[in-house]
């Protein structure tokens, strides 16, 4: 008898929908299309020789251990090194018992969702938000309460309004999810004043903050701002960090910092998910960082991505019509563009592919899918000349629609 898997799916899985964005992005996979749609580091700067050296040393030095299962928490050497790095950024009082190595930050998001979200629970997210976070929280059937962003990041006064409204309706949000540095997709950074205010609100309203910060170290202008974890401590903040953007996403490594009661739940969730993150890449990462190579690599990408970002902003100034607007990020990987006359960027996508240029449609990042006039442009993965040509093609297309 044939098996109808549809009868077996969980209620949760019944809600899983293939992302139409991924379907759209399949169209991008052709060399003649200039893709500003990615979110990847530029692999031309990967220091392959150094990674080979770190890897062969790791295998010689730790051989069997590196190829064996490790502890769910991750190898101690690496966690201690991360604790030291965080202390240099002003994050104090973090011990080994507060850090778990994750299979990059996407797993951090998924574990946070698993640990905190029951179906129908309200969580507060930025509008727009990182798509992968919306997927992780959505897969646990979270209900999204949104707070808009402006040039200084999350609008904290509006957050307070929402917190008051939720309180008045006796709804306790499980957490606020925020990406404070060089936001994906919006490129904006939460100002210092707002960071302090946000932590104060977290204290006043007993709010848990999930701080997702893949891009903070990829800063090419301005002063580095203290993290929410540094300002608020672990009582109110769970921090998700990753090696993906500051080094290589292929390591599939990140780390989660949280108070012990939270981390102990996360660890059980992680055991169920993957037992432990790859041991071998943890040793490679340790060797790479402890030789000072991570810091050197970060300096290279800061310098090179700055040039690419400048090329993109100049091209936008030159080729985009009046009425379009965009963010000018001080770091990260993305520029967020608002089309003039609120041109429908989802409908325009196929025409852009015909013009051999691609972007990510803005609607993907809105939890309530109520904004159709933005597009996310990536500058990290493309050479400056191609960035300029891609922006020119997009500018022409937009002008033809006005």
Ligand X SMILES: Cc1ncc(COP(=O)(O)O)c(C=O)c1O
Binding site for ligand X (CB under 6 A): 39, 104-106, 130, 132, 179, 184, 212, 214, 242, 244, 249, 254
- Do the beta carbons of residue 277 and residue 253 sit within 8 Å? yes
Encoded tokens for 2:
């044939």
Task: Pick the closer one to ligand X by CB: 320 or 366.
Answer: 366
What is the closest distance, in whole angstroms, from the C-beta atom of residue 160 to ligand X in the complex? 24
Task: Pick the closer one to ligand X by CB: 174 or 183.
Answer: 183
Task: Pick the closer one to ligand X by CB: 130 or 175.
Answer: 130
As a whole number of angstroms, the distance between CA 280 and CA 55 comes to 8
What is the closest distance, in whole angstroms, from the C-beta atom of residue 122 to ligand X in the complex? 21
CA 105, 107, 110, 116 torsion-angle sign: negative
DSSP code for 249: G
Encoded tokens for 59:
């295998």
Give residue for tokens 């993965």: 381
What is the closest distance, in whole angstroms, from the C-beta atom of residue 214 to ligand X in the complex? 5
As a whole number of angstroms, the distance between CA 345 and CA 324 comes to 12
What is the closest distance, in whole angstroms, from the C-beta atom of residue 237 to ligand X in the complex? 16
Q: Cβ contacts of residue 300 below 8 Å, gap of 6+?
A: 45
As a whole number of angstroms, the distance between CA 375 and CA 371 comes to 10
Encoded tokens for 199:
């932590």
Task: Pick the closer one to ligand X by CB: 330 or 348.
Answer: 330
Which residue from 106, 133, 181 is spatially nearest to 332, judged by alpha carbons? 181
Q: Cβ contacts of residue 299 below 8 Å, gap of 6+?
A: none
Task: Pick the closer one to ligand X by CB: 98 or 106.
Answer: 106
As a whole number of angstroms, the distance between CA 77 and CA 88 comes to 17
What is the closest distance, in whole angstroms, from the C-beta atom of residue 202 to ligand X in the complex? 20
Task: Pick the closer one to ligand X by CB: 39 or 70.
Answer: 39
Task: Pick the closer one to ligand X by CB: 121 or 212.
Answer: 212
What is the closest distance, in whole angstroms, from the C-beta atom of residue 143 to ligand X in the complex? 21
The percent of the chain in helix, strand and coil, each rounded to the nearest 5, is: 50, 15, 35
What is the closest distance, in whole angstroms, from the C-beta atom of residue 321 to ligand X in the complex? 29
What is the closest distance, in whole angstroms, from the C-beta atom of residue 110 to ligand X in the complex? 9
Task: Pick the closer one to ligand X by CB: 73 or 212.
Answer: 212
């Amino acid at each position: 008898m044939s098996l109808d898997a549809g009868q077996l799916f969980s209620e949760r899985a019944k809600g899983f929908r293939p992302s139409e964005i991924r379907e759209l992005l399949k169209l991008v996979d052709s060399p003649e299309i200039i893709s500003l749609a990615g979110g990847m580091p530029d692999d031309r700067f990967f220091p392959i020789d150094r990674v080979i050296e770190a890897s062969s040393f790791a295998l010689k030095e730790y051989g069997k251990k590196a190829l064996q299962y490790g502890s769910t928490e991750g190898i101690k050497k690496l966690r201690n090194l991360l604790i030291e790095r965080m202390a240099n950024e002003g994050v104090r009082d973090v011990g080994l018992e507060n850090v778990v190595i994750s299979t990059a930050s996407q797993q951090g998001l998924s574990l946070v969702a698993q640990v905190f979200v029951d179906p129908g629970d309200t969580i507060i997210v930025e509008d727009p938000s990182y798509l992968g976070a919306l997927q992780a929280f959505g897969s646990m059937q979270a209900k999204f309460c949104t707070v808009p962003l402006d040039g200084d990041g999350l609008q904290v006064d509006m957050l307070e309004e929402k917190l008051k409204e939720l309180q008045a309706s006796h709804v306790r949000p499980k957490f606020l999810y925020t990406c404070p540095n060089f936001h994906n997709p919006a490129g904006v950074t939460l100002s210092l004043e707002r960071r302090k205010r946000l932590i104060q609100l977290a204290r006043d309203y007993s709010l848990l903050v999930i701080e997702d910060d893949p891009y903070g170290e990829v800063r090419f202008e301005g002063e580095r701002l203290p993290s929410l974890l540094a300002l608020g401590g672990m009582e109110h903040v769970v921090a998700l960090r990753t090696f993906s953007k500051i080094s290589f996403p292929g390591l599939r490594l990140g780390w989660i910092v949280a108070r012990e009661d939270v981390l102990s739940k996360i660890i059980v969730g992680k055991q169920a998910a993957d037992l432990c993150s790859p041991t071998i890449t943890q040793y490679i990462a340790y060797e790479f960082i402890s030789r000072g190579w991570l810091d050197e690599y970060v300096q290279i990408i800061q310098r090179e991505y700055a040039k690419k970002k400048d090329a993109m902003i100049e091209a936008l100034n030159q080729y985009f019509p009046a009425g379009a607007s965009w963010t000018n990020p001080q770091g990260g990987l993305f520029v967020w563009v608002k089309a003039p006359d609120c041109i429908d960027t989802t409908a325009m996508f196929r025409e852009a592919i015909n013009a051999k240029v691609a972007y990510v449609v803005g609607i993907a990042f809105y939890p309530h899918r109520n904004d159709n006039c933005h597009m996310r442009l990536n500058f990290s993965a493309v050479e400056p000349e191609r960035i300029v040509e891609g922006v020119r093609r997009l500018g022409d297309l937009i002008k033809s629609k006005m």
